[in-house]
Amino acid sequence: MGGTDPNTYYHKPQNKGEVIDLHLSGLKISADEIEVKRAAGVKHVISTQVDVDEIKGICKGTGRIKIRLNEGESLDMVRANFRKVGMMVQEHQHDATKKSTFTTPIV
């Protein structure tokens, strides 16, 4: 049976780039997740979220994006890319004191 050597796939070094989580503001009312991903200008977007007014169906002007930085990419570069399209960026700060409903086991 033919094929390739699995070692060529499974033993490559994994991308261990830094993960950054950013809050965005200044989004246009027509903004969607695809536009936010394009504006980031990076190779690996983990997730995006655009806050939408449920009644009007338009963007509220804020959102969030999580990115894994690859070789040659930096936080400053990502910030500059967002500034070029008029979006403001702030790093997400995790609040350890905030209680989640999922932190305790269900008994």
Q: What is the pLDDT of residues 55-66, one digit of tens each?
A: 999 999 999 999
9 torsion bin: left (phi>0), alpha (psi -120 to 50), beta (else): alpha
Give the per-residue pLDDT at 25.
Answer: 94
pTM (2 decimals)? Answer: 0.71
Residue 107 lies in a domain: no
Residue 6 lies in a domain: no
Task: Find the distance separating the first CA and the last CA of the chain, reported in whole Å.
Answer: 52
Residue 102 lies in a domain: no
Tally of domains in the chain = 1
Residue 76 lies in a domain: yes
Q: CA 44, CA 29: separation in Å to the nearest integer?
A: 25
Residue 5 lies in a domain: no
Residue 74 lies in a domain: yes
Q: What is the pLDDT of residues 11-42, one digit of tens each?
A: 555 556 789 999 999 999 999 999 999 999 99
Q: Which residues span the domain enclosing 73? A: 19-91
In this structure, what CATH number is given to the domain that contains residue 83?
3.30.70.330
Question: According to DSSP H, which parts of 3-50 are helical?
Answer: 7-10, 33-40
- What's the pLDDT band for 81 if we cut at 50, 70, 90? very high
